[in-house]
Amino acid sequence: MDKKKQAIGVFDSGVGGLSVLKQIVNLLPNEDIYFYGDRANAPYGSKSQKEIIALTIQAVETLMSKSVKAIVIACNTATSEAIDVVREKYPEMLFIGIEPAIKPAVLDQNKAILLLATPMTLQSKRVNKLINQYNQHTHILLKPMPLLACLIEHHDLKDDEIQTYLKEELHEYQDQVDAVVLGCTHYPFVQTGIVKELGNVKVYDGALGVAKHLKHILQQHQLLNDDTKGGRIVFESSESNLDIFYKLWNMKIGEME
Ligand code: DGL
């Protein structure tokens, strides 16, 4: 098979990766996509690094068995804890990871930025290196949200439980920051609820950056699919029920609450 025509693999612990997938499909409408959500093992954010590495290897191998030409790790937790390991283990595969969008938030001259992410992302060496690169003139506050990905994964997005949790965790930051960085791919699904608790803030997430980077890498390797018929998306999960993927896929990000 012509390598250009092979699908792109996209992976997350669950539905969060769909927020990245939306940007990929907008930017690269002719690519076939194979999306794998490891719902049976979600959330990753409070697991040990060893567990996250093992699960990421498993997910990557699932995608590689579908002969994908590149793999997007659409999960901040898996990227920050495991991308170096899978890059070393599979040097022939193109991996594109996601990182919290701290750089654009700092370059926009925001003075105080709140970074929301899973506990493991905030603890990781990779993300701490990124923070240290950008916190010279900008106040970057770190806020782990240990339960949020799981609430999004298992509740209707309109459930009071989600807003109650956001209120409990974020209320003290109301009107204290100019910007919020959504450092977990699940969080854009409750963006309106987050902004409601924080007041007037600019919102940054890494999804568009990842889609642009993916396009650049495929271009560089002459792997862009030149068909114009429109790509197909196949969803797969470690859990048999795929309903939640179809449900969230058919909503627009802004319409999710
Ligand atoms: N969506 C993921 C992230 O970007 C993982 C959330 C989780 O499984 O805890 O970090």
Which CATH number belongs to the domain containing residue 54 in this structure?
A: 3.40.50.1860
Task: Give the Å distance between the CA of 223 and the centre of ligand 1.
Answer: 28
The verdict on 8 and 63 lying in the same domain is yes
Number of domains into which the chain is organized: 2
How far is C-alpha 202 from the chain's CA centre?
18
Q: Decide if 131 is inside a domain.
A: yes
Model confidence, pTM? 0.96
Contact by Cβ (8 Å): 214, 21: no
The verdict on 234 and 181 lying in the same domain is no
Task: Give the Å distance between the CA of 125 and the centre of ligand 1.
Answer: 17
Q: Which domain holds residue 175?
A: 102-205
Q: Mean pLDDT, consecutive 10-residue segments, the chain of 257 residues?
A: 94 97 96 97 96 98 98 98 98 98 97 98 98 96 98 91 97 97 97 96 97 98 93 94 89 54
Q: Decide if 256 is inside a domain.
A: no
The C-alpha atoms of residue 88 and residue 105 are separated, in whole angstroms, by 30
What's the pLDDT at 256?
44
The verdict on 173 and 92 lying in the same domain is no
CA distance between the termini of the chain: 42
The verdict on 187 and 212 lying in the same domain is no
What's the pLDDT at 1?
75
The C-alpha atoms of residue 159 and residue 155 are separated, in whole angstroms, by 7
Q: Decide if 254 is inside a domain.
A: no
What's the pLDDT at 194?
97
Q: Annotated active-site positions, please?
A: 75, 184
What's the pLDDT at 252?
62
Would you call 27 exposed, middle or buried from its count of C-beta atoms within 10 A (0-12, 13-18, 19+)? middle
**Residues at CB less than 6 angstroms from ligand 1:** 12-13, 16, 42-45, 75-77, 118, 121, 149, 184-186
